[in-house]
Amino acid sequence: MGLSPFRRAGSLSSHSASPSKAFSGRQSRLKSRTVLFGLMAAIFLFATGCSMDGMSTWDALGPVAEKQLELFNVLLWAMVAVFVLVEGVLLYAIIRYRKRPGQPKPPQIHGNTTLEITLTIIPTILVLGLGIWSVFTLFDLEDPPTTGPDALHVNVTAHQWWFEFEYPDTGSGKHIITANELRIPVDRPITLSLESDDVIHSFWVPKLAGKLDMIPTHVNEMWFQADSDKIDEALPVTLFGQCAELCGLAHALMRFRVTVMDQADFDSWAAAYGPPPANTEQAKAGQQLFQQNCTLCHTIDGPDDPALSASRLSGFLTGGDITPVPAPNLTDLRTRQTLAAGITDLTEAHLREWLRNPEDLKPGNYMSSRAVLYQGGNASLSDQEIDQLVAYLLDIR
């Protein structure tokens, strides 16, 4: 899906062929063959090496990622041109000037000031040009466009090892806190305030924008937008995100999803946000179990209470074997697609597995190390109790 970055940058490829004009005669044929070979090798490598899958940066679906990719594509072709030119000249020198038997001592040239100055000025102009272009792009991307629809604001907080998404106002006045799945309306700028409450993490959805670090006590602001005309599939579409800064044991398993949806679908998701109804016997038993065992860390009845969050955080930072820790808000767990920060599909079987022993799915997580339930390894819950919890959390009727 998406547009090929190579096709878009194709008009620049003529740059890479021009250097062969500097040579003449037999050498020019050798030279142009080298250039051709280099280009073919490069094209072959790109064709086999680039992927449009999950985390690919080649598949920009919004204006921010697109501008960043545009700049990279220009750089890429400039790099290919310089590579072919310089490696070509190097290869030419290696072949042309190899020592031949009986060859006299070569001319003892010490340098050429005119050439040196020329070869200093040309790259200086080249890199300054690219540098200035980057500066314009930087300032361009600083803020979302002021025309068009209003931005939707999301506060994102990173935790070891999951993401918390808070919508202070979804438009209908609803305050939502959820985890590991960011739902966004299509064609609307999303502004994000990024922070961390433990160590440094980095927020990255390659198809929407480059990354920005999430640093405790620093709030970083970014924005992106998903454009419907760049998305080939029918909405909703799910994109991948992942933490990009080493943040401890489960860094590799700190992933998330971004679901791009129509404004109407987004509104109905927001309207439906609320605790699981618990309207079967099984679920009611699960609800009771949840209240007894899980609420020290997890909230399930709407947005987290800030005072409660603060006490969980201070418990976590103080350490100790069994303390409350910040944990994902589970109010809308039943509407999510994935489990344990985007590492596996949310199915009944996976949730059971997770509740039995979270360490199997996600080594290092704090649920297994800090919760009383798991102090002996596996959960001190019977299979029946786990079934009841699953029925409650996933609203199985």
Site residues for other proteins, window 177-196 (CB under 8 A)?
194
Segment 28 to 47, residues that bind other proteins, using CB under 8 A: 45
Contact 239, 56 (CB under 8 A): no
Q: Which is nearer to other proteins, 7 or 99 (CB)?
A: 99
Strand, coil or helix: 210: strand
Residue 372 Cβ vs other proteins, minimum distance, rounded to whole Å:
19
Question: Does 321 help bind other proteins (rule: CB under 8 A)?
Answer: no
Q: Which is nearer to other proteins, 77 or 392 (CB)?
A: 77
Segment 246 to 265, residues that bind other proteins, using CB under 8 A: 246-253
Q: Which residues contact 158 (CB under 8 A, 6 or more apart)?
A: 164, 194, 195, 196, 197, 198, 201, 203, 214, 243, 247, 254
Q: Which is nearer to other proteins, 69 or 391 (CB)?
A: 69
Which two tokens mark 194?
A: 């990024």
Question: Does 202 help bind other proteins (rule: CB under 8 A)?
Answer: yes
Q: Which is nearer to other proteins, 199 or 235 (CB)?
A: 199
Question: Does 12 help bind other proteins (rule: CB under 8 A)?
Answer: no
* Tokens 């990009």 belong to residue: 244
Candidates 17, 30, 39, 55: give the one binding other proteins (CB under 8 A). 55
Q: Which is nearer to other proteins, 247 or 294 (CB)?
A: 247
Question: Does 107 help bind other proteins (rule: CB under 8 A)?
Answer: yes
Rg (CA), the chain: 28
Contact 180, 162 (CB under 8 A): yes
Instruction: Single out the segment in contact with other proteins by CB under 8 A; choices: 31-39, 50-58, 225-233, 266-274.
Output: 50-58
Q: Which is nearer to other proteins, 214 or 390 (CB)?
A: 214
Residue 178 Cβ vs other proteins, minimum distance, rounded to whole Å:
22
Candidates 36, 128, 272, 349: give the one binding other proteins (CB under 8 A). 128
Q: Which residues contact 387 (CB under 8 A, 6 or more apart)?
A: 282, 352
Q: Which is nearer to other proteins, 310 or 349 (CB)?
A: 310
Distance CA 133, CA 126 (A): 11
Question: Does 130 help bind other proteins (rule: CB under 8 A)?
Answer: yes
Question: Does 352 help bind other proteins (rule: CB under 8 A)?
Answer: no
Which two tokens mark 45?
A: 């490598």
Segment 57 to 86, residues that bind other proteins, using CB under 8 A: 57-58, 65, 67-69, 71-72, 75-76, 79, 82-83, 86
Q: Which is nearer to other proteins, 138 or 271 (CB)?
A: 138
Helix (H) or strand (E) holding 237: strand 237-242
Strand, coil or helix: 167: strand
In angstroms, the Cα distances linking 222 to 152, 214, 266, 358 are 12, 11, 21, 33
b (16+ CB within 10 A) / e for 258-293: bbbbeeebbbebbeebebbebeeebbebbbebbeeb
Q: Which is nearer to other proteins, 78 or 179 (CB)?
A: 78
Distance CA 128, CA 137 (A): 14
Q: Which is nearer to other proteins, 12 or 215 (CB)?
A: 215
Candidates 12, 30, 39, 50: give the one binding other proteins (CB under 8 A). 50
Candidates 28, 218, 277, 375: give the one binding other proteins (CB under 8 A). 218
Question: Does 98 help bind other proteins (rule: CB under 8 A)?
Answer: yes
Distance CA 1, CA 59 (A): 7
Question: Does 225 help bind other proteins (rule: CB under 8 A)?
Answer: no
In angstroms, the Cα distances linking 350 to 155, 251, 338 are 29, 20, 10
Question: Does 2 help bind other proteins (rule: CB under 8 A)?
Answer: no
Question: Does 377 help bind other proteins (rule: CB under 8 A)?
Answer: no
Segment 155 to 174, residues that bind other proteins, using CB under 8 A: 160
Count of residues of this chain found to bind other proteins when the rule CB under 8 A is applied: 97
Helix (H) or strand (E) holding 314: helix 306-318
Residue 100 Cβ vs other proteins, minimum distance, rounded to whole Å:
8
Q: Which of 292, 235, 303, 300 is nearest to 270 (CA)?
A: 303
Report which residue type is found at 384. Q
Site mask, other proteins, residues 279-318, x = CB under 8 A?
A: -------------------------------------xxx
